[in-house]
Each structure stands twice: as structure tokens, then as C-alpha cells.
Structure 1
Amino acid sequence: MIGVALVFPYLFKMFVWLLRPVYRLLFGFSGEVATRNLNRNLSRTAMTSVILCLGIAMIVLMSSLNSAFIQTYEKIIYSSYGGNLDIEFHHIEKTDLEQLKKIEGVADAQTYPLQSVIWNLHGQKRKLPVYGVGEEWIDRFPLFAVSGKSHSELVSNLEKDELIMDQIAYDVWGGKIGESISLETLQGTRNFKVVAVVNSMKNSGYGAFMREDDFRDSFGLKYERNALVLKDENTTPLELRERVFNQFGGRIMEMFGPEDWVSVISVTYTGAFSIINFLVILSIMISGIGITNTLLINIMERVRELGMMRAVGVTRRQLIRMVLLEGFGIGLAATVTGCIFGILLIYITSTFLEVHSLTYQFGVSWTIILFIGLFGILISLISSFMPAFRAAKTRLSEVLRYE
């Protein structure tokens, strides 16, 4: 951004050079004078334009980052939620799993154990959700995202007193892979070696995973309360929930699906980015005041020139057109450069996220670019109206009195 600000006067000068034949062809004398005036006091005009340019670039980037974060979390959620529906029962009977599989629209189902375990962290006691996972079903119902190997391979390699930590819990812990954490078990406080770190959206990404049989030996949970469900292609998430609820009714404490998490994440990030976008739009509107100020100063410096032009037959309409074309040129240069710079920022950001193993891919919404571009040009035109009418009100008698 500093680099763009430093080279912008040269970019602006080149842009005016490209704009001159277009203005001359479309607007004749008014266009010729407008492009000439844009090159006068180049540093002042360019700095006014670059403020608008940076504001447009930032709103292009922010509108893209909003969808980027949603895309990232959406992929993680769907790859680590364990299915299309996670049900928490008040209790699960022995026959419930078979009944769940027989419901219309259910492709497969699996129960799993979950326990909030007391975790001794740096002398303090905290709760850590621990999931018991089986290598025979974890590939069909992935509770975490893994790269480089299959879920079942990772789980099958777990030894007794070993577990996998979620990234957020791992960051809270502050240790390293290969070190141990202390958990309260049926046999008292035991150390469990952390052998891997994974990403998951279960419990907002805070938890740990161990083999199902080791889980039962350590925590003695006999009755499971959670079930994962996969739906078939012809069933919608809403239909699946209705049929499950009709079967089990009041025994269900909670049903949550990946689309619910996506909605929560979308609302959260969209709300946060709305505040940022509002501030950027406010800065763009303030830059419009800068355009007005620059044009007014230019008019005050050229008041005698404008009077002489009126004296030789230039009409008020032509003067208004000249100033409007100046403002339009400032805004057009800022808008075009800002959109190009914003697209470059999107590309840089997508490359950065790709390096850090996230999922955002480079992409440009031309509809958003079009609306932002029109908004920038509209701001510049609105900002030019007052200076234009100020120039048109120049009194010929007062000007000529001093010539």
C-alpha cells in the first residue's frame, strides 16, 4: 500500500495521458481542458485520488476475505463433523442404533462415547472433552480432518495412554507433540502422550480423541449418548431431522448439523466484516470530501482563467462540464487502480492462506467489483457538483476588473 501511494502520481499521469484522447473524442473542448487541468498541480490531485484508490482496494479485499473465511470454515466443518447430523440423547437403548439406521433417508448411523474429563493444566483443573473413536467407523464418520493418512490409520496406530489433540486445545496446552498431559481417570491421575494434532469443529474445535476401547478402560463410560447420522442423497437435512425426531421424540436433547455451524460462522464473520466495510465506506466518503476540496482550491487558483474563458464565449454549461470531467477523471483513476490493486491483494491473501494449509482459493466476484467501481465513480461525481457550480457562478465583471 505504501508502494502504491508512492508510485501513484506516475500512474495517475499515465492514466490521464490515456484518458486525453477519449475525453477529446467524446467531449471536445471541455474534455481537452479537463485533462490539461488534471496535470496541473499533479501531486495534489494524485494524492487526493490515491486516498480514494486505497479505500476502494480495501473494500474489494474485505468483501473477498469475508467469503474466504466462510469457505475455509465450511470445508473444515463438513470434513470433520462426523456426518450430516449429530444427535445427543438423554440416553441410548441397545436397540436405538438399529432403529436409527432403519429410518427413511438414513444411509448409516454410529454411536460414539464422549466424556468431559478433568484436565490438570499447569496446576489448574479444566474440563477437556474426550471422544472415543473406533478405527472401523472413523473413516465413514470423520470427527476430525487429517492430511497425509487416513483417519483409521491414525487411530489404529494409537497405543494405550496415547491420544490426539485438537488444534485449539493443543494451543491452550502449549506443549509439544510427544509430551504428555494429565487427565483424571478411574485409576486416578494418568499421563497421556499427545501423538498428533488435528483440526475439528466438534465443541468449537476444543477436545481430544483416543481409541474407543482405551477410552472405556480409562473413563468407564458404559452408556453412550451421542450418535452420528449420514443421510442419503434424496433426503434434505430438514427432512432427516423431522424423521429422527418423530422416531425418538422427547429423548432427544439436541440435534446439530454442519449447516448449523456454517450458518453461525457466516453470521459471525459477516457481522464482523460489515463493521469493517462500513468504516472503509466511510473513509471513501471522506475521500470524496477531499476531491471536493481539491477541486475548489483548483478553481480558486484559476478564477481569472475561468473569467477569461467566459469572456471569450465559453458557456456556464461548458465550465460545469469541465469541472465534472476533472472530478470524474480523479475518481476513475482511483477506481480503476483501486480495483486492480484490490484484486492483487486478493491474490496475495489467497496465496498466504494456501501456504498456511487453509482452503481459500483465488477468485474475483466481478459483480462486487462492478458495484464498488460504480460507487467510487458516483462518489467522485457527487463531490464534483459543488465545485462545478461554484465555477459556473464566477462573475465576469469582477474577474475582468482586476485584469
Structure 2
Amino acid sequence: MLNMWRISWRNVTLNKKRFFFSLLGIIIGVAFITSMLIADKTTNEVFKYYEQMYVANADYWLLSDEQTFSEDNVSAKLNNTMVTESLFVLDKQAFIDLSDKSLNQRSVRITGVNDQNSSLLKLPVIEGSLDNEGLIIPDVLANLLNKKVGDTIQFSNLGEAKISAIVEYTQLLASPSNWEGAKSASFRVMAPLSMLREWTSMDNELSYIRLQTNEEGEQLFQSLQQELKDTNVYIQPVVADDRQSNDIGGLYTFFYLIAGLSMLISGFIVFNMIYTSVMERKKEFAIMKSFGYLQASISKLVLIEVILMSLIGTIIGIPIGIWLGDIFMQTLLSVFDFDMVYTLNWKIPTVVAIVIGIGFPIIFSLFPIYNAGKTSVLLTLKMGNHTDSLKRQYVFRGIVGVGLLTFIFIDHFVSYLAILASIILLFPFLLKGISKIFKPIFKVFLGYSGILSTHNLTKQLNRNANTSAILAIGIAVILLLSSVIESAPEGYESEIRNTYGGDIRITSEAPWSSEDITTLFSYDSIANVVPLTEATPITWKTINEEDRQFSIFAINDNGPALFEDSGKDSLYLDLQEEPTILLGKRAFDEWGGKVGEYMNVNTPSGKQKIKVIDVVDTSHYSGYVGFMDEGHLNNEFGWKNSFDMLLTLNNKYNGEQLRDQLWKDFNGHLSKVKTVEDEIKSTTSALSGMNELILIMLFLIIALASIGTANTLLMNTLERTSEIGTMRAIGFTRQQVRKMVIGEGLLIGLAGVIGGVVSGMILLYVISKSKLLGDFISFQMPINNIGVALIAGLLLSLFASWIASTTASKTNILSSLKEG
């Protein structure tokens, strides 16, 4: 057995350059897979971590549809053995006292709590301590203000307090990291409740109360639901669900797509090497069989060769993948607005990557392994002509390829896979076509060597075409992703403008009075003012009885357009008939039910079963939202008040011009000013940042495919050793041999790049015309990334060709002629 492993090791390392490039392909493939699995797992853990940090150990919370409520009204209800801990919270909008910044940049949300050390809070302290005497501020605010523990912050018209602790990012104190971001989002700090009450004279007021209960907490929840039914206070379970603020589902698809691409390319490199090795050793296998070796023994010998390569590639690739995963996470999280921290979750992904790393080279090599064992002694020794067989293969590939290409007329997900398969099958014809087109050009620049390179390309047409096709598929998929990311902001912008309901949304800490509305209408810049009622947070259950949380907007046929649907008028009428709900698409998918079924909702009036009558498209919270008729939301549902206004501006004005004036006129109770441009920017900023990742992935995928090109060229030149020796003997120079091989590599790379761009355009066209994604993705090619693909593809192919040409040019004339 040990002897067989030694033989396999000798065979696999017989050609060191080919072994090196095949091994490099496995290493990079394993590294990619490892890094993407780590990125997937770590990203998921990061957002779960911050969800749990926000929830802490709280089970329920008491809230109000009037923003604040009296502590006296609920304190008696909390004197219950089922309540093990409570946290009293008051929120108040204020302004940091800074002379060189605008009001909106200075706005800050102060959260007063009665116990900063409560287990119902999770505050990751960087510096200082939670002493219940001073302010707790996030590190981004400390950096902007250049403050440290012990320094003081002055709040306009309130007071001054020292900083007792600086903390890492947490949702409760999420703050903008720069002054530009502060124009559209308030800073957040935490203060002792007694201090905030003293400053504001809100001695008995609370915004909410967090509760921790024992095992009988569900009984308390049900009893309080009944007791609070007709009051302005309601109880909700505390649910770890931040889907309204984070839509990262698409990231996971991106991770697995890149991992799959890298595995496909690496697997093809291994297949090429093993298949060529098997073809080269047909005589050897035939002789072995004539001496009594069984089919299984020969297949086992080749299998051990693959296992050796996969083991070495995996051992080297895993640590590189962990390092890449860390870099990828740093780049990925930098596209979000907040300074998140993470712990790299590498253990489980590493185990999975090891299994995949060892397994995928074996899977891709199964055919050549089987083929080695099936070697026929007589046919191999006769060395028959396979020209007719190859012609039949090309005809078969052409017929099947054209047949699969007809899937461009079928609107289904399977069509995309069929198109990719057709591209691979038709690539020999594309390669031959490009070879003929560029033959005159190669003749001019490379002379007779250029003519030979176009001729040699067809000697191993299948292998060369497959190498080029793999490069094309990688480029096509990455360009498609890039195009989606570039066109998505336009789709989002259109959807946001159509469903935002106005040009500016302003939020108050108290219900808007008629005097406030009159003041708003007095502005020359404002064309219309309409109230927006948002019930939040509202918890509900999925079909699988999992707790979720979102907002529900009140709508009516005379109100602002908050969603897109062709049958809006009939939907409004249906909603008015009885308490029913419309769901945004993302909320509907998460719920898991069907239109016409009932969802369980914890309303301010208690638990209710509400019928879902349709699914609509909306930009609000990325579709993770519901809509109800205004009358039913106010009455049966139990949400009475509105704290938001939607402002529509006259054509010659924009939101930035009005923002400062709104803060000045309503600074006593205004808590947020958000323009439609702010919403567009916050929604699309992460997508814009992802384009940098796409460029990196594009380059790396091309680099991986170029390793396959180098490997293929090495195999081509090794098979033509005798031919190259003859050419050298009759006067061909080393330089001419090198040019010939470089020409072959350039044609493979050129075909791959051109084929990739064309394939990407075909895929993008088909997707842009589909009913599923057509409204979201427009047909536009990412010109910058196409330029990167062309340059990187040609340069890396040139580099791969140069490596192979160096080997070819060093061919020993005498030994090669002896082999012939």
C-alpha cells in the first residue's frame, strides 16, 4: 500500500510545472471557498450579535402610542413576582452645544435609564465605567468631538454632564461616524434617568419599560394585554429582529456564487491535468493490464494521485482562506454606515472547507479516474485514429449548445443555467472563429509564429475551448453581478421616489398640532402636508410560529402613495371592509403564508388574527412592513396617534434648503428630518461600496482562470515536445517558439474575455426582460468593469502564456527528437 502511494506521488510530480499550477489552482480554490464560507458565517453572526445586544435579557416591553406615558399608571402593575427585573427608559431629543455646526448636525437623542448596569442593557465598554452618574457615548461621537472619559458635553438649553464611559457600536446608541452623516441622522447618548428628568422636567414620564420575567412570563403578558387594552400603553414581546434596518440576504447569494465559481474553475484545472495525464499514460496502463493489473488497481492509483494533490492544496489553502476571510470581512463591513466590530468565525467554515477541498478535486476527476481503469490494451497499442470521433463530438456539442441557447426565450431560473451550459458547449466554434479573425493581426505582430499559434489552437480544440469557456463564465457571472449592483441603485431610487409618499418625512416627539400644520403650510417651499401614521414596533408570528417584528402604516385612498400595485384602488376598498393587512414582499416571504390566510399579530388591543389580502412592492424598510386601513388601525387595531408628517415640496425647492428651517421652527419637539434623497443614499450606499468588492473578485477570478490557461498551455507544449524539437532542428529560434506559445495563450484569453463579455450581455438581457427581475434590473453593461476584465484578462493570459512559453523554448532538440 505504501508503495502505491509512492508511485502515485512520483507520477503526480513527474512534471513539476504542471503539478505546481494544478496545485496552485486547488490552493486558490480552497482559499476562496474558505474565505466565502467564513464571510457568510461571520456576517450572520455579526448581525445576530448586534440583535441580541439590543435585546439583551429583556422578555417584554411596555410602550405607548403617545410616545411617552406616566410611570404612575403602570408601576403598580409591575409589582408582580413574575417580573424579575425592569428598566425604565426616557428618550428626549436635544442639541449638542457646538457653535460651528448646524442644528441638524448637532441633534442628539438622549436616552435616560434608571440603571446603566442593568442586565437588560448590553453596553460594550471601551473606556470608563457605567457609574449611573455620567454620560455613555459611542466611540464615533467621542472621536468627532475629540472627547475622552472625564470630559464634559454641554447640551443646548438643558445642561452639562461628564462622560463616564465610551462604548463600541450598539444599535441603542447607533450614531453617524462623520459630520456629513450627521445631517440626516442624530447622534445618540445615554444618561442617568434622574439627570434627564431634572433637565427636562419630565418627572413622571417614560418612553418605554423593559421587563425580564420568570417562566410564568407568558401569563403576565396575557394579563397585561387585557389590562392595558383601552389605555395608551401596550405590551409587546422583545424580539431580536432587525430586518427593517438590515437587508443582507443578497450578500449570502454573493458569497456562495463566488465560492461556486472558484470551485468550478479549480475543479476544471484539476480535471484537465488528470485527464491529460491519463491520456499520456494510456500505453503505461495498457502494459500494466497486460501484466495482470486490475481495472480497480489502475483507477486506485490515479485516485491516490488526486487525493495527494487535494490534501496538499487543502492544507495550504485553508490558512490562506482564513486570512482572506478576515480581509474580506473588513472590506465588507466598511460599506455599512456604522463602525461594527466582529470576531472571525472560522472553525465550522474551516471544517466544511476541508471536506470540500478534499472532495471537489476527486469529484471533478471521477471521469478520468474511471477512464484510466477502462483502458483497452488492444486499442491503446494499436493507437487508432480518433479524428472521426472528434468530429462527431463537435457536431454533438454544436447541436446541444444551440438547443440550450433557445432557453433565452423561456422566463425561468433554469434558463440562466442552460445559457451558461450552451456557452461552454459552443465555445470551440467561438474559439475557431476568433482564431480566424485574429490570424492576420497575429501574422503582422508575431510573424510566422502567429500563424502557427492559430493553427496549433485547433489541435487540442476541446481542451483549449474549455479553458477559455471557464474564463468566460467567470467573467460573465462577475459582470452580471456588477451590472446588478450598478443598476440596482436606479431601481431603488425609482421605487423610493414612487413610494416614499413625499419629499421629506419629519418626526415629532408629540402629536402634530393644527398650529404646527398651519406653520408648515405657510412655507413657500411646501406644496402639501399630510400625516403619516406608523404603528411600531409590532410583533407577529410566522407560519412556523417564530416571533418577528415590523411596522404597520396607515393608508387611505386620499393619502400618500406608500406602495406600488396595479390594483391600488380595489385594494383600498378591500382594506376598508374589514381589518385586513397588506404585506411588503420581504415581510410576506418571511411570514411564509399565502394570500387569504391569517397572520397572528400582537396589536395594542391584544392578540389578533388579521387576514393578509395581498403582497405589494414598497421601499419602506426594504419591504419588511405592513399596511392597514387608517380607520381600522386607529380603532380595532388600537393605534391612535400620528407623529410623522410627509411634506411635498414645490418644484424649485429641495429638502436640504428646508432642513435647517424645520429644526429652528420646531426644535422643541422635532426628532427627525429625513429627505427622500437621504433615504435613497442610505439604501444604495452599501450597494455602491459592494462594487469595490466586485472589482476585486473579478480580478481574482480571472487570475484563477489564468492558472488554468497556464496549465493548459503547459500540457499542450509537453504533448508537442517532439514537434517543437523538429521545429528547432530545422531553424526555429527560441524566440519564435516563445511567440508561438504566447500567441496561443493570448487567443485563449482573448476568446475568454470576449466570450465572457458577450455571455454577460446575453444573461443581463434575458434577466432584464424577465417578469421576476425585469423591473429591478436594467440592461446596462458596467463599462468600467468590462475595461478591467479586458485588461486583466489579457495581461494575466499573457503572463500565463509567458510561463508556458519559457518551458517550450527550453526544449532540448536531441532528446525531443529521440522521443519522436
Unaligned runs of 5+ in 2: 1-419
**C-alpha distance in 2, partners of 1:49/1:125?**
50
CA distance in 2, matches of 1:9, 1:236: 57
Q: Residue 113 and residue 366 in structure 1: after superposition, are their counterparts in 2 closer, same or farther (change >3 A)?
A: closer
The answer to whether the 8 A contact 1:161-1:193 is kept is no
Flag the 1:120–1:155 CA change in 2: closer, same or farther, 3 A: same
Q: Scaled by the length of structure 1, what TM-score is found?
A: 0.84
**1:113 corresponds to:** 533
Partner of 1:163: 580
Contact preservation (8 Å) 1:115, 1:131:
yes
Counterpart selection for 2:557 from 135, 147, 156:
135
Q: Does 1:385 align with 2:802?
A: yes
Query: Which SS does the other structure have where 2:627 is aligned?
Result: strand
- The TM-score with structure 2 as length reference comes to 0.44
**Number of the residue aligned with 2:447:** 28
Q: 1:321 and 2:743 equivalent?
A: no
Choose the corresponding residue for 2:473, options 48, 51, 54: 54
Note the alpha carbon deviations across 1:217-258, whole angstroms, 9 max, x for none.
Answer: 335655421111122332233223222222222522222233
Which residue is equivalent to 1:93? Answer: 513
Q: Which moved further from structure 2: 98-107 or 56-65?
A: 98-107
Q: C-alpha separation between the residues in 2 aligned to 1:322 and 1:220?
A: 80
Q: In the TM superposition, what is the alpha-carbon distance from 1:157 to its structure 2 partner?
A: 5.3
Q: CA separation in 2, counterparts of 1:178 and 1:311? A: 83
Contact 1:86–1:227 (Cα < 8 Å) also in 2: yes
The alpha carbon displacement at 1:264 in A equals 3.1
Report the equivalent of 2:290: none
Residue range with higher mean Cα deviation, 56-65 or 17-26: 17-26
Distance change >3 Å, CA 114–CA 315, structure 1 → 2: same
- CA–CA distance in structure 2, aligned partners of residues 44 and 182 of structure 1: 59
| 1:333 equivalent in structure 2 | 751
Provide Cα deviations, 1:309-366, integer angstroms capped at 9, x if missing partner.
Answer: 34444333333322221111111111111211111111121122x3467332323344
Out of 277, 282, 307, the residue aligned to residue 700 of structure 2 is 282
Q: Does 1:358 align with 2:775?
A: yes
Q: Post-superposition shift, 1:90?
A: 0.7
CA contact (8 A) 2:427 2:469 kept: yes
Q: Is the 8 A contact 1:75 1:359 kept in 2?
A: no
Residue of structure 2 aligned with 1:71, choices 490, 495, 505: 490
Letter in 2 for 1:197: V
Percentage of matched positions with identical amino acids: 31
Output the CA distance in 2 between the equivalents of 1:69 and 1:214. 35
Aligned CA distance change for structure 1 residues 188 and 13 (closer, same or farther; 3 Å): closer
1:120, distance to aligned residue in structure 2 (A): 5.8
Does structure 2 conserve the Cα–Cα contact (< 8 Å) formed by 1:62 and 1:273? no
TM superposition shift of 1:84: 1.5
SS of residue matched to 1:208: strand
* Compared CA separation, residues 99 and 21, structure 1 to 2 (3 A): same
2:656 equivalent among 238, 241, 244: 238
Q: Which amino acid aligns with 1:39?
A: T
Partner amino acid, structure 2, of 1:362:
F
State the match for 1:102 in structure 2: 522
1:292 aligns with 2:706: no
Name which of structure 1's ranges 285-294 and 242-251 shifts more when overlaid on structure 2. Answer: 242-251
SS in 2 for 1:379: helix
Shift of 1:195: 3.6
Decide whether the 8 Å contact of 2:583 with 2:615 is kept in 1: yes
The answer to whether the 8 Å contact 1:120/1:181 transfers is: yes
Please state if 1:260 is matched with 2:710: no
What is the CA–CA distance in structure 2 between the aligned matches of 1:189 and 1:243, rounded to whole Å? 42
d(CA) in 2 for partners of 1:192 and 1:148? 21
Q: Which residue of 1 aligns with 2:620?
A: 202
Which residue, out of 768, 789, 793, partners 1:372?
789
Classify 1:380/1:59 alpha carbon distance in 2 versus 1 (closer, same or farther; 3 Å).
same
Residue identity opposite 2:576 in structure 1: E
Give 1:169 shift.
Answer: 3.4
- The number of residues matched between the two structures is 397
Cα pair 2:726 2:817 within 8 Å, conserved: yes
Residues 57, 118 of structure 1: CA spacing in aligned structure 2 closer, same or farther, 3 A cutoff? closer
Quote the offset at 1:154 in angstroms: 4.0
Distance 1:331 1:124 in 2: 51
Structure 2 CA distance for aligned equivalents of residues 357 and 299 of structure 1: 47
CA contact (8 A) 1:97 1:111 kept: no
Question: Structure 1, residues 11-42: CA drift from partner, whole Å, max 9, x if none?
Answer: 32333233334433554312111112212222
Unaligned runs of 5+ in 1: none
Instruction: State how far apart, in whole Å, the 2-side matches of 1:82 and 1:227 are.
Output: 10
Q: Matched residues in 2 for 1:222 and 1:5: separation? A: 61
Distance 1:224 1:37, change over 3 A: same
